[in-house]
A and B are shown apart, each in its own frame.
Chain A
């Protein structure tokens, strides 16, 4: 597409016309260039590899979802007076579309983590039962938070930046979103504003980190069913589980895990880590619970988690 053709296409769309075929062909060119030159990992592809068909599929999805449904084509054309500016904007949009595609179905995993965090962390105290159970900081306010979504989001933003794992190349459907310490900081910060239910905390997480609602259970089940996965996909899921497990382990749990693998007795491990044997026992229980959720993938994930921890320590 030439600059003159772009100017003509831009004028046509701004005047209310349909985007010319040349413009859409240039969009496909942008997708192909991005895939070939930006080193995108294969798990960003809808089929696990970057074939021509995969690029066409990504382009079609991007055009349908972003450019048409969300009106982003019009927004970009309005702001891009020249073809090179349009291509730059289009590349950013495709990249964001691919990243966003990796974030679906995180909520179920996250809800489980938040519930366990509240249950198992001493600084959080609960009262009541069921979905109305209110959580507060053990040394924090005991009046309920009564703000609306706008105020809840304000509190969530006020805690500053968080390291969001889902933007990592290795993170996918089971991405834990926030590392264990970061999740605790987030929940603790929320509860400084008043007591909340787990549902309100999840609402704050969704608003602050723009998480979509959980995908249908069938999709999660399919993703977790190792027996039906093709090999490349299985690799991806294992990698995700490793990332998720590493993020979920606290620093002390990681050290306990290494100690266990090295055959260090609990008493000696307690001395090394400067804690009681009871704490070591407690941490072992938590590690076991994490591994138990991995099901049949546990041995392979544990092996890779230990590899990663040893590499990190080395």
Chain B
């Protein structure tokens, strides 16, 4: 029985969807209980500006970076295990080592300059825009150890070399891990908010629901017809044709989503999925009229791709990326 990724443990329906696993895993059970209890009231705040990322190459596996999130006033130091164009898989590195368990890997002071603990169970993905600065680089040996620990943990196998095992629900380390998970939630939230769907419209709809904005009032604020915004949120409208880029930028900022490549890619996906040619083909019009058939709009993949690229480039500029 393997543990779920951190973000799934922090989902609002985790206690039902992960019920089977939770009954047999004291750590995940403690985390879900803690997160359920401390679910903060959603306070809407426009996205703050991210710290200026340090010049240089983006995060790569083996790098130790500081990571930022809008709701955290401390940086989180973490090792990068995998990196992609718009996201990074990280494993936090904590300076507090007291609560080590079998799902944690201890790093001696020679690695970072101070004794640290890698909580394998608290690994997950963040947006690449959350990376602030590189503070160290792991040796191949240490990267391999952390990666192997990650793979083992999520395969339900022992982490080597892990700390002392948790043997009972009474173990105070479970409470400490749950509290740490609660603290780390804001770090992973920007990524998870943008991964509830594969198009931008439904992502914005869910976020708007969470912060409690009514569709009519929200559309009015954006100066977009409610009918059009509703169709966009439902994943039925082409934003290229229906939603001006500045309005989309305003929506992203207003809903407190992180300005990121992921947002741009979601917008690109929306255009690709729904863009169609305006012109109707001229073939056999009379025959169709006789049968009462309205010819479908023609899908031109090349045109859709060009529109998606154009829209994405404009949105990227609008978001200041």
| Chain A residues near B (Cβ < 8 Å) | 14, 70-72, 74-76, 78-82, 85, 89, 149-161, 207, 210
Residues of A near B172 (CB, < 8 A) are 157, 160-161
Q: Is the CB of B114 within 8 A of A72?
A: yes
Residues of B near A155 (CB, < 8 A) are 167
Q: Is the CB of A85 within 8 A of B73?
A: yes
Q: How far is the CA of A25 from the CA of B90 in the complex (A)?
A: 35
Q: Is the CB of B114 within 8 A of A79?
A: no
Q: Is the CB of A160 within 8 A of B163?
A: no
Q: Is the CB of B171 within 8 A of A158?
A: yes
Q: Is the CB of B167 within 8 A of A157?
A: yes
Q: How far is the CA of A160 from the CA of B101 in the complex (A)?
A: 14
Q: How far is the CA of A195 from the CA of B113 in the complex (A)?
A: 40
Q: Is the CB of B95 within 8 A of A151?
A: no
**Besides the known contacts A78-B77, A152-B164, 8 further A-B residue pairs in the complex with CB atoms under 8 A apart:** A70-B114, A75-B77, A75-B114, A81-B51, A82-B73, A85-B73, A89-B74, A158-B171
Residues of B near A82 (CB, < 8 A) are 73
Q: What are 24 A-to-B residue pairs whose CB atoms are below 8 Å? A: A14-B135, A71-B109, A71-B115, A72-B95, A72-B114, A74-B112, A74-B114, A78-B75, A78-B135, A79-B95, A81-B51, A81-B73, A82-B73, A85-B74, A89-B74, A150-B164, A151-B164, A151-B165, A153-B163, A153-B164, A157-B167, A158-B167, A160-B170, A161-B172
- Tell whether B98 is near chain A: CB-to-CB under 8 Å: yes
List B residues 68-99 near A (Cβ within 8 Å).
Answer: 68, 73-77, 95, 98
Residues of A near B114 (CB, < 8 A) are 70-72, 74-75
Q: Which residue on chain B has the smallest CB distance to residue A148?
A: B164
**How many whole Å from B182's CB to the nearest CB in chain A?**
17
Q: How far is the CA of A210 from the CA of B164 in the complex (A)?
A: 14
List B residues 108-146 near A (Cβ within 8 Å).
Answer: 109, 112-116, 132-133, 135
Instruction: Identify which of B132, B166, B170 gathers the most chain A CB atoms within 10 Å of its CB.
Output: B170
Q: Is the CB of B167 within 8 A of A154?
A: yes
- Tell whether B168 is near chain A: CB-to-CB under 8 Å: yes
Residues of B near A158 (CB, < 8 A) are 166-168, 170-171
**Interface bracket on B:** 20 to 34
Q: Which residue on chain A has the smallest CB distance to residue B164?
A: A153
- Tell whether B66 is near chain A: CB-to-CB under 8 Å: yes
- Tell whether B253 is near chain A: CB-to-CB under 8 Å: no
> 0/1 per residue, B160-179, Cβ < 8 Å to A?
00011111101111000000
**Main SS of the interface on chain B?**
loop
Are A79 and B163 CB-contacts (below 8 A) given A72-B95, A158-B171?
no
**How many whole Å from B58's CB to the nearest CB in chain A?**
18
**How many whole Å from A167's CB to the nearest CB in chain B?**
14
Q: How far is the CA of A39 from the CA of B250 in the complex (A)?
A: 50
Residues of B near A14 (CB, < 8 A) are 133, 135
Q: How far is the CA of A80 from the CA of B66 in the complex (A)?
A: 10
Partner of A79, one of B51, B76, B113, B167: B76
Residues of A near B112 (CB, < 8 A) are 71, 74-75
**How many whole Å from A55's CB to the nearest CB in chain B?**
25
Q: How far is the CA of A150 from the CA of B112 in the complex (A)?
A: 24
Residues of A near B173 (CB, < 8 A) are 157
Q: Is the CB of B77 within 8 A of A81?
A: no
Residues of B near A85 (CB, < 8 A) are 73-74
Q: Which residue on chain B has the smallest CB distance to residue A72?
A: B114
Q: How far is the CA of A81 from the CA of B164 in the complex (A)?
A: 33
Q: Which residue on chain A has the smallest CB distance to residue B135?
A: A78
Q: Which residue on chain A has the smallest CB distance to residue B172?
A: A161
Instruction: Identify which of B77, B101, B167, B173 gathers the most chain A CB atoms within 10 Å of its CB.
Output: B167
Q: Is the CB of A150 within 8 A of B163?
A: yes
- Give the 3 A-B CB pairs with smallest separation, nearest first: A71-B114, A160-B170, A153-B164
**How many whole Å from B159's CB to the nearest CB in chain A?**
12
Q: How far is the CA of A109 from the CA of B223 in the complex (A)?
A: 75
Q: How far is the CA of A57 from the CA of B40 in the complex (A)?
A: 43
List B residues 146-168 near A (Cβ within 8 Å).
Answer: 163-168
Residues of B near A157 (CB, < 8 A) are 101, 164, 166-167, 171-173
**How many whole Å from B16's CB to the nearest CB in chain A?**
28
**How many whole Å from B161's CB to the nearest CB in chain A?**
9
> 0/1 per residue, B54-76, Cβ < 8 Å to A?
00000000000010100001111
**How many whole Å from B183's CB to the nearest CB in chain A?**
12
Residues of A near B77 (CB, < 8 A) are 75, 78-79
